[in-house]
Structure 1
Amino acid sequence: MKYGIGNYFSLPNEIFLLGLSSGELAVYSFLKRCENRKTHQCWPSYRTIGQAVRMSENTVRKYTLCLEERGLISTEPTEITTRAGQKRNGNLLYTLRPIQEVIDEHYDRQLDQLELVAARQRTTAAQAGT
């Protein structure tokens, strides 16, 4: 099988700093593959993603929610109109956030967590000293 020059996609190196599970990484990678490079959006179905990464639709849904909670993607419901004129739910519209924003937020959360731990340690030390 011969592949054309444009038959690849880029995955940012920073994605490996976030501690994603293999399932999260697989779903994110497929969304990255599908995304429009100008709008950073795509709308594959859970079924399409699942077939590509060999997961059930429910598992894809779970990892999609995880990616959304981590701030890597946002999702919006879409609507389609059938030929008969009926409105139906469409696939989710995925927007992939710029990786640098995601990394910055990740480090901010880690810093907040460290400051909280330090404050607790100071409180414990102060109580022990009284």
Structure 2
Amino acid sequence: MLWHCMRQSAAKRFFPLPNEIFSLRLSSGALAVHSYLLFCEDRKTYQCWPSYRSIGGAVCMSVNTVRKYVAELEERGMIVTEPTSIVTRDGRKRNGTLRYTILPIQNAVDLHNQRQLRRLEETTKQMRVSKKLAANKEHPA
């Protein structure tokens, strides 16, 4: 019986970090913030509500730095943030913390691959134009 209790508590102390995350070429700060959000998330809803300050305290970053990395994670398609609000005891409505929704890693991988393919197509197009310009300079009409 003791072993069963130990296994359950051990499972609660760990969270999965997908291997694909390393193919996304995230900055170390974004990886740290994403890891903390995974640590905080409700595994049924994939959401969490930590403040910038609590994230920064956990990963040793300032609030502004956390904000920058949250924006990077959003831009990469790894999370979605939504503002929340609270009502104080005296009835005033105030801004709450952000609600973070952790998106499936495959979405971010697909977005990353699409962007890489688009960059490759643009580079190929630029190279074709450069070759045509060079050919026109050598053999003007």
Instruction: State the TM-score bracket (shorter-chain normalisation).
Output: over 0.9
Please point out which of 16, 35, 45 is paired with 2:51: 45
Residue 92 (structure 1) aligned with residue 94 (structure 2): no
Query: Which amino acid in 1 is paired with 2:117?
Result: L
Query: Which amino acid in 1 is paired with 2:32?
Result: A
Residue 19 (structure 1) aligned with residue 32 (structure 2): no
Q: CA deviation at 1:5?
A: 1.9
Q: Alpha-carbon deviations, 1:59-109, whole Å to 9, x = none?
A: 111111111111111111000011111100000011111101110110010
Equivalent residue for 2:139?
A: none
**If the length of structure 2 is used for normalisation, what is the TM-score?**
0.87
Residue 127 (structure 1) aligned with residue 133 (structure 2): yes
Q: Distance in 1 between matches of 2:132 and 2:44?
A: 54
User: Higher helix fraction: Structure 1 or Structure 2?
Assistant: 2
**If the length of structure 1 is used for normalisation, what is the TM-score?**
0.94
Q: Distance in 1 between matches of 2:108 and 2:28?
A: 18
Greater C-alpha radius of gyration: 2
Runs of 4+ in 1 over 2 A off after TM superposition: none
Percent identity over the alignment is 57
5+ residue gaps, structure 2, are 1-5, 137-141
5+ residue gaps, structure 1, are none
